[in-house]
Each structure stands twice: as structure tokens, then as C-alpha cells.
Amino acid sequence: MPQNFDAIIIGAGVIGISTAFHLAERGLKPVILERKEIGYGATGKSSGLVRMHYDLEVESRLAWESFQYFHNWHERIGGECGFCRTGFLHIEPAGHETQLRKNVEMHKRIGIPTDVITGEDVKQLAPYFNTDDISFAAYEPESGYADPMLTAASLLNAAKAHGVVYTQDCEIISTQISGGKVTGVQTTRGDFSAPVIINAAGAWAGKVSDLFGVSIPLGTWTHDVVHIRRPAHIPAHPTVIDSSLSMYFRPDSGDLTLVALEDDSRLDEPADKDLGYVAKDFVERAIDRICKRIPDMEQGSLQSSHVGRDGLTPDQRAIIGQAGPEGYFLATGFSGTGFKLSPAVGLCVSELILDGKSKTVDISCFDPMRFERGEQLKGENDYGFIWR
């Protein structure tokens, strides 16, 4: 006999768990089906940045709404998310000054605490930074980073407390559709039935969606990350997206700095391809870049490296909405930037399902059918693609 639920969420990353949590808050009984274990995909390898600077207003609104959760996690969710306020700097090359200033104006209109600061201001915030090439930057004093696995675990505990059922080691084999409506799935752990199914399977979402007869343009983005132990005289620093040097970095516990690059990304590798190695020259390039911004990091030491993977869409923006048979929804394709948006995305998807549209933030622009219409999302004051 099938197990009956109000909604089935496929994937136990932060997007899927958040969606389940918010649906349960509204009185539904969802089940999360995970092929491996919690955070197995992009969540478990996320760098965990919590910031609001985007060139697309809807993403900034989602990030700002999500920040309210991260900043008050214990009160709003319970447990801990590991949020650490470091301040956040967004550095763009000189040719993007107009875009950055207009984006900061947009962020301020939303209510985000942010401002444009000078290179001299950056030097005051981080005296050990080389700021010779910086004449301006965006600064968010309240932003920082959180612990992705701690976030996912505490969110899952809160979801379970609201009645969510979690089933792992559970792979989708086939789907059940009747009269143009989804009715359930067959899995390696038995049959599950529900009138609503949400595909939050990350890099595997394309394969899952094919089972529902809905093809989505989803590739993959594979990202390499290195942890460097800072020399003793360099304290913790702000969290930084440094587009001038095509990298981002943030402090981590144990006097470490996490560094990742934005260029020479590995695109469209199979979702199941081994994550046990970083690109051949990645570590050397990452160390070279961080030393250009923080010269004294030359006195640091390599601690570790790891690899993660997420689903990547043609415009590097999420796919969120109903598609194909009635009751089938997508919440995927976050292209490496879903963690910081996840609390608000889960809330908005729950509103879309239960109220017919999202009210907290209008997410209709992420419509899965936009690619069929030849449309792609682009920032109002565009910086270009993140991953190159």
C-alpha cells in the first residue's frame, strides 16, 4: 500500500527542507524523499555566504527576506545555523561602477543596510588588504556567512517537529500521473502518493524531471574550494566577492580562509561524476589570487580542498514554478547561489502551492517555461554571468 501525504519533496538540501518546513507550518503533511542523505548535493559543499548583493532585484528581495531568518535563526526556526556576522564586501572592476552604484540604490530601496564605500574605506575595514586597484565597493555591515549543514540539520529538525516525514536512501524509480495530475511516485523504498510533488533535486533535477515528462535546460556547475590557514598576525576578515580578481573568500573557524574562483568553471559534468578531486591547477591559482588581495597570505599554509556541484541554468538563475502535469513544481537550478535564498524560497514556494501565487516575494519571473519562450533573466544593472 502506498504511503499517503499532502506533498512530496524530492531532495533534502536546504531548498527542499525549507519548502517542507513552510508547507508543514501551513498545516500540510509533507514527506521529503532523499536518494542519499541530508545535504548530499550542493548544500553539503556550499560556501555558506549570507549576503544580499545581486544585480537582479527579485534575488536581493529573496536574500533580504532570508536574512531575517539567518539573523534570528534560534527564534524563527530553533537550533542553530552558525551565522557569523563579518560584514560583506562586493568588489567590481572599474568598468562596473555605474552598475554597482545603481544596484546599491536598489538594495537600499528594499531596506537592505548597504552603502558604496571607497578604497580607503576598504583599507580601514581590512588594513592587510591590497586596495591599490579598488576605488569603490559595496559594503553590507550586517552580512557574513552561516554553516550550511548546521542550517539544514536544524531546519529539518524544525520540519519534523511540524510533522514532516524524512526518508533517505530513497531513489525515485517512476512517477504516477492520472488525468493530467501527479498522484505519486514509486521509489526504492516503496510507493508514496500525494497530489503535490516538488522537485528540489539540485544537480539531479533534470533527470528527475524527465520522469514527469518535463524537460528542463539544466546543466551542472562544479566548483573547487580551498581552505588556507592564515598567518597568525592576520585576523578574521570580511566576507568578500571580489569580481575584480574573479574569486570569493570568507573567514572560517580555526583561523582559516575559504577561497573559491569564479572563472574557468567546470561546466556540464555529469551530476554523479566523482567529486574527489579539484581541478589540476586550481589550488595554485586560488593561492595566487588570494595573495594578490591579501599579500601576507603568502605566509599562510594550505589546509584542505574540496569540490561541490549544483544545477546550472542557461541564465544562471533558478527554475521555480509549476510545469507539466498539475501538481508538479520545480524549485531547482539555483546555479550555486541557493543557500542564502533558501528560507525565503521555501516560504514563497509554499505560498505558490497553497495560495496560487507567492506573496512574500513575487517569484513568477523564475517560471520554468521562460526558456521555451526564448527568455532569460538578466539583472537590471547587469554584471554578466557569475560563473565563467
CATH of the domain at 335: 3.50.50.60
224 and 129 together in one domain: yes
Of 48, 111, 110, 35, nearest to 83 (Cα)?
48
Residue 282, strand partner residues:
none
62 domain residue, yes or no: no
25 domain residue, yes or no: yes
70 domain residue, yes or no: no
52 domain residue, yes or no: no
237 and 130 together in one domain: yes
Of 201, 71, 152, nearest to 342 (Cα)?
152
Residue 2, pLDDT score:
82
Q: Which domain holds residue 159?
A: 3-45+149-218+315-370
260 domain residue, yes or no: yes
pLDDT at 147 over 80: yes
Residue 277, pLDDT score:
83
Write out the DSSP string of 289-351: HHHHHSGGGGG-EEEEEEEEEEEE-TTS--EEEE-SSBTEEEEE--TT--GGGHHHHHHHHHH
92 and 196 together in one domain: no
124 and 8 together in one domain: no
- Tens digits of residue pLDDT in 69-98: 999 999 999 999 999 999 999 999 999 999
266 and 285 together in one domain: yes
- Tens digits of residue pLDDT in 170-228: 999 999 999 999 999 999 999 999 999 999 999 999 999 999 999 999 999 999 999 99
- Tens digits of residue pLDDT in 244-256: 999 999 999 989 9
Residue 276, pLDDT score:
82
169 domain residue, yes or no: yes
**Cα–Cα distances in angstroms (integers) from residue 315 to residues 164, 181, 365, in the given order:** 33, 29, 12
255 and 289 together in one domain: yes
253 and 360 together in one domain: no
Residue 20, pLDDT score:
98
293 and 364 together in one domain: no
227 and 303 together in one domain: yes
227 and 290 together in one domain: yes
- Tell me what the pLDDT averaged over the chain comes to: 96
Phi, psi of 208 (to 5 degrees): -65, -45
Query: Residue 109 CB: number of other CB atoms within 10 A?
Result: 10
CB pairs under 8 A, 24+ apart, for 121-124? 122/89, 122/91
199 domain residue, yes or no: yes
- Tens digits of residue pLDDT in 25-74: 999 999 999 999 999 999 999 999 999 999 999 999 999 999 999 999 99
CATH of the domain at 92: 3.30.9.10
Q: Answer for the pair 189, 169: CB distance below 8 angstroms, yes or no.
A: yes
Task: Please report, to the nearest 10 degrees, the dihedral formed by the alpha carbons of residues 117, 123, 128, 134 taken in order.
Answer: 60
Last residue of a domain, one of 307, 329, 359: 307
229 and 364 together in one domain: no
284 and 343 together in one domain: no
102 domain residue, yes or no: yes
- Tens digits of residue pLDDT in 302-325: 999 999 999 999 999 999 999 999
Number of domains the chain contains: 2
Distance CA 320, CA 352 (A): 10
Last residue of a domain, one of 288, 307, 326: 307
Distance CA 194, CA 178 (A): 12
